[in-house]
Structure 1
């Protein structure tokens, strides 16, 4: 069985090389669709459509966001023709932030409530055990008292003859 520490860098290298080779082949594909429609351009995921110039451009992955000189964000389309890139980024950022905050709140609440609940449960069990123990001691004392009264009633208050066998 291969070690994960060896397998992970190898997979990263393979996928990285695949992405580089795929990028070089799609450069010509995107530029060849200049002057066509937005839908035609965006069929390829690596392409970016710019409305004012009506040009299909290869998405600049090195800069993460397309520079303003290439195409302004509110005129750039990527993935969907009806949503501009600026709204797409803002929407994804808000959804991502909400998900992260929700996960943090859930983790905090679950961990806090679980610890609090288990401490409370342990305290209740301890109180119940103490209560049971006190009742049991009271019953033992009552039984001893009753046995003592019976012994006195029948004159058996002396030492138990069987105590030496015990």
Structure 2
């Protein structure tokens, strides 16, 4: 990893911190549950979003109840580019894109980690070229041993022919005389 790059752990921490910074102001400034969102219509976005269950629509300056049963607010209620939820400085469209990018990076990171772990587990296994090289080395060693044994037997025959063959026991000559 290059010195300027952030590791996967840091990316995860930074993504989590960004999400936390995005959602904490909305949860910290929550109004009592009895306050209706419609009371904050034609006021400011900050006043509307003090209640976490409210959605601010900037086109008509309306503070609406967030449709909890749906993940995304319908376009008949407010367009995604004009809808604000949690914080006023990020529209719903940008929030969805940012969350998708963070989620995609997390999935990609997990996938890369899994691939790296799988490759590390397979690497100790010798591949075909290593097996072939080991087989060839063993064949060369066997041929060399055969040649050595053959040369030794030839040399022994020559020594016998000319009487230069060394006996098993050097003292056996004295005992036989």
Instruction: Flag whether TM exceeds 0.5 (same fold).
Output: yes
State how far apart, in whole Å, the 2-side matches of 1:124 and 1:68 are.
62
Gaps of 5+ in 1: 1-24, 162-166
1:47 aligns with 2:51: no
1:152 aligns with 2:157: yes
What is the CA-CA distance between 1:63 and the residue it aligns to? 2.2
State how far apart, in whole Å, the 2-side matches of 1:129 and 1:103 are.
38
1:67 aligns with 2:43: no
1:34 aligns with 2:41: yes
What is the CA-CA distance between 1:36 and the residue it aligns to? 3.2
Judging by fraction of residues, say which structure has more helix.
1
State how far apart, in whole Å, the 1-side matches of 2:127 and 2:72 are.
54
Instruction: Mark the structure with the bigger radius of gyration.
Output: 2
State how far apart, in whole Å, the 1-side matches of 2:133 and 2:39 are.
80
State how far apart, in whole Å, the 2-side matches of 1:100 and 1:31 are.
38
Ranked by relative contact order (alpha carbons within 8 Å, sequence separation 6 or more), the top structure is: 2
State how far apart, in whole Å, the 1-side matches of 2:141 and 2:67 are.
79
SS in 2 for 1:28: coil
Alpha-carbon displacement from aligned partner over 1:40-78 (angstroms, at most 9, x marks no partner): 222333321122432322211212221233223332111
TM-score (norm 1): 0.57
Alpha-carbon displacement from aligned partner over 1:95-120 (angstroms, at most 9, x marks no partner): 26853884597479759x939x7499
Alpha-carbon displacement from aligned partner over 1:4-51 (angstroms, at most 9, x marks no partner): xxxxxxxxxxxxxxxxxxxxx746353443343212222333321122
State how far apart, in whole Å, the 2-side matches of 1:43 and 1:131 are.
77
